[in-house]
Amino acid sequence: MEKLECLLPEDQVQTKIRELAARINKDYAGKELLVIGILRGAFIFMADLVRRLEVPVTVDFIAVSSYGDETQSSGIVRILKDLDENVTGRHVLLVEDIIDTGLTLRYLCDYLQARGPASLRVCTFLDKPGRRKVDLQPDYRGFTIPDYFVVGYGLDCAQRYRNLPGIYIYNPGEKEKIRGEEKEERGVPPEEDKPSEQAVEVRSRERGPSECRKNGI
């Protein structure tokens, strides 16, 4: 099987951006928006989205690290780059690439809410509700997808593929699976046995490559 299988081609992605922007323009008519992107994954989605917004917009970014270890979402979120803008009294739209367990966004929503915004809404490009660990519903959602590990349009696997214009299901190659199994048998943690350019260990098809999970920002 090909490593990358197209799930959402570029034209579908762009059609959705126009739909989302139209809804946001309507909902925020007469207001000013502070759009906050969660780095790095949301950078392309946010760039496309804000270019279609007609209300006055200020942009800012926050960078977080979501995962405590390679494969399990810990719920512990570390802020790597904080906001430059003041949130108090502003209409905030938090932009995310994909919601998986929801732990990252739960944390960030609480973090922003504590700073007293006039309003706070969440806009995600993709949503994997099947893996949710906390009750979190985005206000704006591009697509709901099954539990695939996906790349492209800002989303990465070990920092690669973010530049692809569409969304692709990541299927690890047979060689990589074998490498992963061998390493598990030897009990070698992936950090110590640096993978070749594309060789990433896979523990389970559903959870996606551990390298990718580890870099879950």
Q: Which residues pair with 127 in a beta bridge?
A: 99, 144
Contact call for residue 44 and ligand IMP (CB under 6 A): no
- Considering beta carbons, is residue 41 or 117 the nearer one to ligand IMP? 41
101 binds, among ligand IMP, Mg ion, none (CB under 5 to 8 A by kind): ligand IMP
User: Does residue 154 interact with Mg ion by CB under 5 A?
Assistant: no
C-alpha–C-alpha distance, residues 25 and 161, integer Å: 30
Q: How far is the CB of 24 from ligand IMP (least distance, A)?
A: 20
Q: Which amino acid is at 124?
A: T
Q: Which residues of 1-26 are buried (b: 16+ CB within 10 A; e: fewer)?
A: eeebeebbeeeebeebbeebbeebee
Half-sphere exposure of 89 (CA within 13 A, CB side): 0
CB within 8 Å of 200: residues ≥ 6 apart: 157, 158, 172, 176, 180, 190, 209, 210, 211, 212
The site partner of 112 among ligand IMP, Mg ion, none (C-beta below 5 to 8 Å per kind) is: none
Position among 96, 127, 176, 201 found at the interface with ligand IMP (CB under 6 A): 96
Q: Does residue 41 interact with Mg ion by CB under 5 A?
A: yes
Which residues ranging from 117 to 156 are in contact with ligand IMP (CB under 6 A)?
A: 149-151, 155
Interface with ligand IMP in residues 195-214 (CB under 6 A): 208, 212
Site for ligand IMP, rule CB under 6 A: 41, 66, 73, 96-104, 149-151, 155, 208, 212, 216-217
